[in-house]
Amino acid sequence: MNVLGDRVLELGPKSDAEGPYKNFRLTRDGDGVAWLLFDREGTSANTLSADLIEELSNVLSELETARPTGLVIRSAKKSGFIAGADVNAFRGATDVTAVEAEIGRAHAVIDRLEALRVPSVAVIHGFCLGGGLEVALACQMRIAIEDARFGFPEVMLGLHPGLGGTVRFTRLVNPMQAMPLMLTGKTIDARRAKSLGLVDAVTQERHVLNAVKEAVSGRLNRAKPGFLNSVLSLGPIKGFLASRMRREAGKAAREEHYPAPYALIDLWERHGGDRRAMLSAEKASFARLMVTPTAQNLIRVFFLREQMKKLAGSGNRIEHVHVIGAGAMGGDIAAWCAGQDLRVTLADMKPEPIAGAIKRAADLYGKILRKRTAVRDALDRLMPDMQAEGVRNADLIIEAVPEKLELKQKVYADLEPKMKPGAILATNTSSIPLQDLRTTLQKPERLLGLHFFNPVSRLQLIEVVSHDGTDAQLLREALAFVGAIDRLPLPVKSSPGFLVNRALTPYMLEAMLMLDEKIDKTVIDAAAKKFGMPMGPIELADQVGLDICLDVGDMLRSKFGDALPPTPAWLREKVARGELGRKSGKGFYTWKGDKADTSSGLPATSEPSAEMIDRLILPISNVCVACLREGIVDDADAVDGAVIFGTGYAPFRGGPLNYARTRGVENVVSTLRALTEKFGGRFAPDAGWENFK
């Protein structure tokens, strides 16, 4: 028996010594089959690094000499097969030649694995991603455990597969199915992988040994490339399909912002079907992408996410969440928490909002949960609570009623006497300082903010807001709760708008001033998209809700005055008419479900100017510097991560502060001064720029 975490493999007799390797365990069973177990030293997941690849080369030398009757490769880690490359190795790369030489050495080792003259089988559980999938593809056969997940996430780092994956994947799997998976970074489960021909068999852990015997003996019914694969590699057909792929890629991202998908399409169009040429071209293309600002900034974003995960800590004690207010935000917060295995009670004064929230929850679970039983269980955990009885037993109460100070305080007066000792009272306010909210509380120390962002299921950030009297232990518990529901916490001190809304409000209000200047809304949104934003400020205002934009704008202007653009009178009129954006079906745009009709407006020949882009974007960086100076957030990297994960700020820019560094602080400050002279004091550079590095 060889115990791998909670996985047990019947390996048969094995040698007395595991061998001289740090990251591998090499044994041989009674049938002469070698079992090579990936077990990277000191980590909970296997990743590929230069030292591991070098050691794999030594292992292959031993196997080439020993000539076992077969080779089985699998992971000794509970988490999965191989999670991809060690991203640390990619940071700061600037020399294309050096990167290409390094990737070339790794290529040679993977090619040797493929060339072994014995039957080779990858047995895969958990995540098999990126370079891990490329290792598996170099084996002759692949057996997946039912929980396996496969994918090429390199595009998320501004790259494409670089260890032969572009060649082996498109040879094995129909390119019209293989290419979209690499272009989007999506993962697929074991059954889908089997249907595509990526794996040869799907089995349960207890049947692995029999499946391996079938494979090594040649009795396994192996997946084989179809005739269509060869046809799709013909020149004229490739050209047509590549053009279609570029059009689809263009809908998601501009080539100048995200070059990797386009480089992958070029690679396949020029060399698909020619193994040797494509392997060589893949190395060169990968190296060129690695040193681009896009790749380096996306790698930065990867580490920002990891850094923010650590802020959550561990030891979540929250089991029962009570949400007050079943509107768009409250209902979606409740649904997300129930989907993360927590018991949730959802209260509102009327049954209709609760019914709507549960319907939205069912739709969400249908998209994100793979099993019907999981959908059923999540809905069972989300309990309507018209009488608000859940308050009495809840570990955490989240208030998500409209942004009215008096209303929130009235809610607190009713629920505070019912709360059990040690329970946390959290508000989802987007702008009201906690110092104002706490004034009527008997125990203000247990009030804190948990500010979710819309849409809750897509935006990863939660601002965890404290005031000067917040209980430190409850704050730690709130941070751990955020991590437990698979979200990224940002600790912020209570201040009007906190960080993200304070940064985002001038962006959206400036766009509305441009509307007053008779600039078409589609051109304003195009200016933001040209910079790299996923959606423009006008569409974003509709998405957030014009009533919320108005409330937040009023709150912030009452605190910061002329530092913000004025709120147009016509915005109040739209809100009064019930034109609230996506949630009412009409705002600046007409909405059909989650989609805005952006077809109206000026012809596409109307191009946004550089000045328009600066008017929208630079105030975000300016506010972020102000928040650092004021101590609302104490870490510049956390500021960048928060604005990316809370608003979708162009990830390839690396965050608003990183963008300022890249552009040059002197340039940013001088541009802000020029905008101040032309448009007024709202563009005045913050004093924090003097000490910003």
Per-residue pLDDT of 1-39, as tens digits, reads 343 333 434 333 334 345 689 999 999 999 999 999 999
Whole-structure pTM value: 0.90
pLDDT of residue 556: 86
Residue 263 above 50 pLDDT? yes
Q: What is the C-alpha separation between 465 and 428, in angstroms, rounded?
A: 10
Average confidence (pLDDT) over 507-515:
93
Q: What is the C-alpha separation between 49 and 57, in angstroms, rounded?
A: 12
Same CATH topology for 2-291 and 313-494?
no
pLDDT of residue 601: 52
* pLDDT tens figures, 388-446: 999 999 999 999 999 889 999 999 999 999 999 999 999 999 888 999 999 999 999 99
Two tokens at 189? 């489960």
Q: What is the C-alpha separation between 253 and 22, in angstroms, rounded?
A: 42
Indicate the DSSP class of residue 566: P
Which of the residues are catalytic? 134, 154
501-691: which CATH topology?
Answer: N-(1-d-carboxylethyl)-l-norvaline Dehydrogenase; domain 2 (1.10.1040)
| Domain residue ranges in the chain | 2-291, 313-494, 501-691
Q: What is the C-alpha separation between 200 and 193, in angstroms, rounded?
A: 9
Q: Mean pLDDT, the chain, as a whole number?
A: 92
Strand 343-347 versus strand 382-384 pairing type = parallel
Residue 225 above 70 pLDDT? yes
- In percent, the amount of the chain with pLDDT more than 90 equals 82
Of 260, 279, 289, the closest CA to residue 104 belongs to 279
Q: What is the C-alpha separation between 534 and 656, in angstroms, rounded?
A: 15
CATH class of 2-291: alpha beta
pLDDT of residue 513: 93
- In percent, the amount of the chain with pLDDT more than 70 equals 96
Q: What are phi and psi of 24, to 5 degrees?
A: -140, 155
Average confidence (pLDDT) over 448-454:
94
Q: Are 465 and 489 in contact (CB under 8 A)?
A: no
At 679, is the pLDDT very low, low, confident or very high (cuts 50, 70, 90)?
very high
* pLDDT tens figures, 541-557: 998 889 988 888 888 88
% helix, strand, coil for the chain, step of 5:
55, 15, 30
Sign of the torsion formed by the C-alpha atoms of 496, 498, 503 and 505: negative
Of 516, 521, 611, 528, the closest CA to residue 566 belongs to 516
Two tokens at 110? 């993977």
Q: What is the C-alpha separation between 102 and 530, in angstroms, rounded?
A: 35
Q: Is 342 helix (H, G, I), strand (E, B) or coil?
A: coil
Residue carrying the six token digits 């001190």: 493
* pLDDT tens figures, 481-507: 999 999 999 999 999 889 999 999 999
* Selected residue with higher pLDDT from 17 and 512: 512
Residues in CB range of 1: below 8 A, 6 or more apart: 8, 9, 10, 11
Indicate the DSSP class of residue 319: -
> How far from the centroid of its chain's Cα atoms is residue 538's Cα?
24
Q: Furthest-apart CA pair in the chain: how many Å?
A: 82
Average confidence (pLDDT) over 451-457:
91
* Selected residue with higher pLDDT from 452 and 597: 452
pLDDT of residue 428: 95
* Selected residue with higher pLDDT from 89 and 59: 59
* pLDDT tens figures, 167-197: 999 999 999 999 999 999 999 999 999 999 9
Of 404, 401, 443, the closest CA to residue 424 belongs to 443
* pLDDT tens figures, 554-591: 888 888 888 888 888 999 999 999 999 988 889 999 99
CATH 3.40.50.720: does it fit domain 313-494?
yes
Q: What is the C-alpha separation between 629 and 157, in angstroms, rounded?
A: 31
* pLDDT tens figures, 458-471: 999 999 999 999 99
pLDDT of residue 603: 53
Helices (H), 602-689: 610-630, 636-647, 656-663, 665-679
DSSP string across 227-246: HHHHHHTSHHHHHHHHHHHH
